[in-house]
Amino acid sequence: MSVPVAPGRLPLFGHTVRMLRERYRFTASLRNSGDIVRIDLGTMRTYFVTNPSLVHELLVKKGSSFRKGALFDKFQPVFGNGLATSNGAFHRRQRRMVRPAFHGERVALYARTMARAAADLTAAWRPGEVRVVEEDAQSLAVTVVGEALFSTGMGDHEIEEVGRSTFTVLKQGMVRALSPSFVERLPLRGNREFDAAVERLRTIVLDVVRGWREEGVDRGDLLSMLLMAQDADTGEGMSDEQLHDEVMTLLIGGIETTALALAWTFHELGRNPEVERRVHAEVDEVLGGRSPEFADLGKLVYLNQVVDEVLRMYPVWFLMRRAIAPVDLGGVPLPEGAEVIFSPHALHHDPTSFPDPDRFDPDRWSSDRASTIPQGAFIPFGAGARGCVGNVFARAEIVITAATVAAKWRLVPVPGKPARVKFTTAAYPSRMLMTVVPRS
């Protein structure tokens, strides 16, 4: 079967808001050209999958025929052989060791940290004060992941450093994935910033890992679990280098993504008063003024729908896979080494799966309507053996923080100052200004 070739080219360079937005439009428009569309990125031939059921086939049914692709090669200097970048039997072994750290009962413990971090954040708010919401969301996410990983927490300086460096790494990593390899070696500011951010993160993480190893005490945090984890077959633990790679992966994978979803949650609540009113009513009924716990999460049904809708509207732009052998996808024979792209953003804005896709409508997630959403159409956390290990953790963090805020406060958009959006790895808010108003 012949594969249609993308009409036009993916605009690679240029960082004005218009150019960046154009890239998102381009990838969303590809669904009009076919279920699988060929795009040539310089010398790299890629296959862009637009059809949800083929994305499901790629990630789940035929997941074992693929490994991570060119995008993740670009993150190798940062994540090394961590969970997000490793492949094959090594990845399966590491995933078996890391997953228990994210089981429900562990997340229930981290939920206490989440509730405390949310309470600390809001305790500093004063009525009428204007907050930069994405900054609050990011500092909360760094604190929560940092404390879950390293229980005693990092120093303020490290927390700030991790937040800043993480953003630089993600932004530059994505630019690299779409650019020819020689661009990485040019003396560009972006390349210098990327290298410096990787180095700063490496120093912080290795210091913590070595310190922990010397103490050798189980503190009940994620790092202790990783330090004690042993392969079921060989009984071997992880080296410092492997621990560094896993910790780095969890820090970078867990901070920016969650902070983003949290900031957009406040944005949507702020501009949809009826949705906000329903969230307040539910939070009052379920929590009755006490602080949220893990066991409450399932009871905050409408707030979970709001979070699903945020994850639908503001997901990662694109992800990639590489075929490890010739494989058929939807009748298209892909050769070994074929680079495959799919876009959660484009899938989540496909009007066939989500009518009126630009409308924020948490009721899409009511049980009767949600059951009609096609398989593969909603993949904020990916799917299959490479799906997000932190999905329960992330949802708990967003719901607990949103519920803590909703119990006492409203965040109201500052008139005439709409948040600007930077379209990089995902749609990033920039200066999302909101006024803190106590609930009457």
Burial-class residue 420 by CB neighbours within 10 Å (0-12, 13-18, 19+).
exposed
- Residue 246 CA to residue 85 CA, distance in Å, equals 10
- For the bound state, the minimum distance from the C-beta of residue 417 to ligand HEM, rounded and expressed in Å, comes to 26
Dihedrals φ, ψ of 346, to 5°?
-65, -40
Check binding of 253 to ligand HEM (CB under 6 A): yes
- Residue 201 CA to residue 146 CA, distance in Å, equals 13
- For the bound state, the minimum distance from the C-beta of residue 99 to ligand HEM, rounded and expressed in Å, comes to 9
Residue 218 CB contacts under 8 Å (≥ 6 apart), including other chains: 224, 228
Tokens of 60: 């789940």
Check binding of 429 to ligand HEM (CB under 6 A): no
Cα–Cα distance list, 292 to 209, 295, 299, 396, 407 (Å): 31, 8, 11, 10, 10
Residue 336 CB contacts under 8 Å (≥ 6 apart), including other chains: 323, 324, 325, 326
Check binding of 227 to ligand HEM (CB under 6 A): no
Pick the closer one to ligand HEM by CB: 142 or 433. Answer: 142
Q: Could you say which residues in the range 135-164 bind ligand HEM, by CB under 6 A?
A: 145
Cα–Cα distance list, 336 to 6, 43, 66, 104, 324 (Å): 21, 16, 9, 38, 5
Check binding of 338 to ligand HEM (CB under 6 A): no
Q: Which of 46, 65, 165, 249 binds ligand HEM (CB under 6 A)?
A: 249
Check binding of 265 to ligand HEM (CB under 6 A): no
The CB-nearest residue to ligand HEM is: 390
- For the bound state, the minimum distance from the C-beta of residue 69 to ligand HEM, rounded and expressed in Å, comes to 9
Pick the closer one to ligand HEM by CB: 427 or 436. Answer: 427
Pick the closer one to ligand HEM by CB: 389 or 433. Answer: 389
Residue 95 CB contacts under 8 Å (≥ 6 apart), including other chains: 83, 385, 389
Question: β-strands 130-132, 319-323: how paired?
Answer: unpaired
Check binding of 58 to ligand HEM (CB under 6 A): no
- Residue 282 CA to residue 296 CA, distance in Å, equals 11
Check binding of 93 to ligand HEM (CB under 6 A): no
Pick the closer one to ligand HEM by CB: 118 or 316. Answer: 316
Residue 327 half-sphere exposure, CB side, CA atoms within 13 Å? 22
Check binding of 177 to ligand HEM (CB under 6 A): no
- For the bound state, the minimum distance from the C-beta of residue 380 to ligand HEM, rounded and expressed in Å, comes to 5
Pick the closer one to ligand HEM by CB: 399 or 436. Answer: 399
Residue 154 CB contacts under 8 Å (≥ 6 apart), including other chains: 146, 162, 204, 208
The stretch among 130-138, 192-200, 256-264, 406-414 that binds ligand HEM (CB under 6 A) is 256-264
Check binding of 250 to ligand HEM (CB under 6 A): yes
Check binding of 382 to ligand HEM (CB under 6 A): yes
Check binding of 65 to ligand HEM (CB under 6 A): no
Pick the closer one to ligand HEM by CB: 283 or 396. Answer: 396
The stretch among 152-160, 169-177, 358-366, 390-398 that binds ligand HEM (CB under 6 A) is 390-398
The string of DSSP letters for 288-337 reads TTSPP-GGGGGG-HHHHHHHHHHHHHS--S-EEEEESS-EEETTEEEPTT
Q: Could you say which residues in the range 96-115 bind ligand HEM, by CB under 6 A?
A: none
Residues in contact with ligand HEM by the rule CB under 6 A: 83-84, 95, 145, 249-250, 253-254, 257-258, 261, 316, 319, 380-382, 386-390, 393-394
